[in-house]
Structures are given as structure tokens and as C-alpha cells.
Chains A and B, each alone.
Chain A
Amino acid sequence: MAYSFRAATSAGNASGGALSINKPAGTVDGDLIIVVGYLESDTNTWSSIGTGFTEAKNQDNTGLFDLRIWYKWASGEPASWTWTPTTTGWRTLVCASYSGGGGSGNPVDVTSGAQADGVTTPNQTAPSVTTTVANDLLIFGYGNFSGTNVTSMSGAAANLRVSLGGCTIADANIATASATGTSNPLGGPGTEDYAAMHAAFFLNPVAAVTLEQEGFRFRDDTGSESAAAWLAAQDTNISRPRDLNTRLRMLVNATGDPASQALTLQYRKQGDTDALAWRSVIKR
């Protein structure tokens, strides 16, 4: 199983304010949507972005422009989304959608970025990233100051999906966890002031795991589980003489705790800084 490219759109490539970009054709709920945005200058910002998008990576070209990669999982998407720069400037957006992913969770595995001025085409590289699991989607996001369009790619992300005025998305499926190597434009740009990024996205993100300590209660170490006497009300601290066995019942919930990431509950005496002093209470 791997991501599959669905369609791409692009918008802008001119100076102006709010810019809308259309949803790629055929995009359905659960698809991973990628947007790369180019904005001049590097100190300008996006005052608002498409609803529900999250930034995965930002790589400015110092003094010239701002370049970002955003993502979102499609869910009841409108026909288009709008990005608005804080200050009117040259702006371009490119977008691609992919099917096959898990459809929820934080999909960002690893990212990298680079920028430089006066660099020839084969050297306008996004640095290699080392993916941590199999079947990541490697996204290459790129922009150049002259606005020269990219017509072919070389390196890890060899599939050129969309480019408008140099703002580009290319991709590759990375079958095994590994160092991807670099990616760079091959055709189109000449010597450029550029910025380039890699962002690798999990095929099936693990949902965020959160712990909630719901309550605790102390009881005497007498009798059975049902018969032992409580020492205080729930969530109430106690004080007891030494050498008295004391039971502590507590309820800890783990939301989004898949079997593959089972949590281990450990304890350590307060003030003991020795890492080896941790002891497991339960492992499930």
C-alpha cells in the first residue's frame, strides 16, 4: 500500500492579495492534500491560510521570499481555499492531492530545507531526509526568485506534479525507511536564488496518544480487594507512619493508545535522579 497521486492545481503567479486555489479534481474525504506557497518577501507572512491546513515546513530565501508546505486530510472540502498575505506581494500556490493514506493524525515524519542565491540548476537541492517507516510520501517543495518554471526533476522526488512560475510540487513514494537523497529541478530554471524543502509524510500516522489521570485513592493493606478499608476519600492525600503497607488505586486512561504503542507505567522515588531507579508497575 502506498500513496497515489490524484490531481493538481495551481494559482496566482502575480502580485496581489487574497488568492484562492481550487481543490484538485477527484479529491475525496481521507485524501492527503498538499499545498506549497511562495510569497514575497521573506518578511511577509500569510495572515490567513486555507481552513484546516497545517504547516509542515517553512524555508525562507533570506531577503527574498517565503516558502511553505502545508497539509490537511480532506474532510468535506469546499471547491477552493483562500490564502491571504499580510501585505500585498507576489504570491503563487500549487496544490496536489493523494489517495491511499490513513486519513487522520499527524502525518509529518521528517523534513528538511535549504536555500541559497546564484545557484545553478543541479545544485538547487532539498537536503536528504531519513524516513523512519516504510511507504512515506516524499514531497519536494520549491520556489525561485526569477519565477522560472520547473519542467523536469532529478533525484529522490522525481515525479514532477505541478509547477507554476517556479513554485513546484514533486514527489516519490519511499518504500523502506531510509535516507532519501537529495532532490532538485533539472529542467527550467537556470542560475537562481532558490529555496527547496523535503517533507516526508507517514502513510498511516499513529494517532496522538494522551494520558489522563482520572483519580486516585489510598486504602489500608488489609483484607481482600473488596474488603480493604479506605484511608481517605478519592483524590485526597494522606499521611501515615512508616512501615505500614499502603495500597494506592489510580485510574490512568490512554486515549488513542494502539496496541503497537502500548504504554508502560513506571514509578520512581521523588528526588532520585538515577534513571535506573525507574521501576515498571505494569506493562500491557
Chain B
Amino acid sequence: MAIATKTLGGFDDGLCRFELDYDDVNLRLTVVRCINNTAQPASAQATATANGRTATRIFAANSTVELAIPTGPTTRLDVTIDGRGRLDGVDYQLAWPT
């Protein structure tokens, strides 16, 4: 098992970007990270398509924030990985500035 990191999306020439850490064996998301090197805040919302669980967060300007994602059986975001290595099962809503 290892923790893999995937760049999910970004804004403003990559100065504000979102990354995901996930367990490469059980494919559970463990951390959402926003590296926001801009003067404006950003926001992210993740909705698990399997169970509708949603998490929303504002990320302040000029900051890096890591959010630990619940991994318990009743709270975790269920993801799968497709044939091309993409994480599926979560719809994202990202915005910058927010």
C-alpha cells in the first residue's frame, strides 16, 4: 500500500491547485489539499455519487490547507479507479475566486 497523489484541478496558471491523496490499494481518498498561492480564496465541494455524501470547504488566499477525509465505513467517500487510472465516484465543484 502507498499513498498516491493526483492533481485534480487548478486555476490561475496553476497558482491555485487542488490535489488528492488516496490509498492505491483500497482507493479510499485520504486527503484533499488546496495549495492556494493567489490573493483570492477558492472553494471546493465533493459529492460522492454512490451515496450523496457532500463535503464543502473554503480555502483562504495565500495558504495551503490539507483536509483529512473520513475513512470510516459509514462516512468515507467511495471511489473507484477506471481503466485509465482515473478516480471515479466523486463529482467536484471547484471555484476561484469564490
Contact = CB atoms under 8 A, between A and B. Distances in A.
Contacts of A8: 11, 95-96
A159 B13 contact: yes
Contacts of A11: 91-94
A12 B49 CA distance: 10
Contacts of A12: 91-92
Contact of B93 (A22, A26, A149): A22
Chain B interface, DSSP helix/strand/loop, else mixed:
strand
A14 B8 CA distance: 11
Contact of A25 (B8, B12, B17, B95): B95
B8 A149 contact: yes
Nearest to B96: A8
A11 B85 CA distance: 19
Contact of B8 (A15, A16, A164): A164
B86 interface: yes
A187 B14 contact: yes
Interface string A1-32: 00000011111111110011110111000000
Contact of B84 (A14, A19, A146): A146
A160 to B, nearest CB: 5
A165 B84 CA distance: 12
15 contacts: A7-B97, A10-B92, A11-B92, A11-B93, A13-B91, A13-B92, A14-B90, A16-B91, A146-B86, A149-B8, A149-B17, A162-B9, A163-B10, A164-B9, A165-B9
Interface of B: 7-14, 17, 49, 82, 84-98
Interface of A: 7-16, 19-22, 24-26, 90, 145-147, 149, 151-153, 159-165, 187-188
Given A15-B49, A15-B88, A25-B98, 6 more contacts: A11-B91, A12-B91, A13-B8, A14-B90, A160-B12, A165-B8
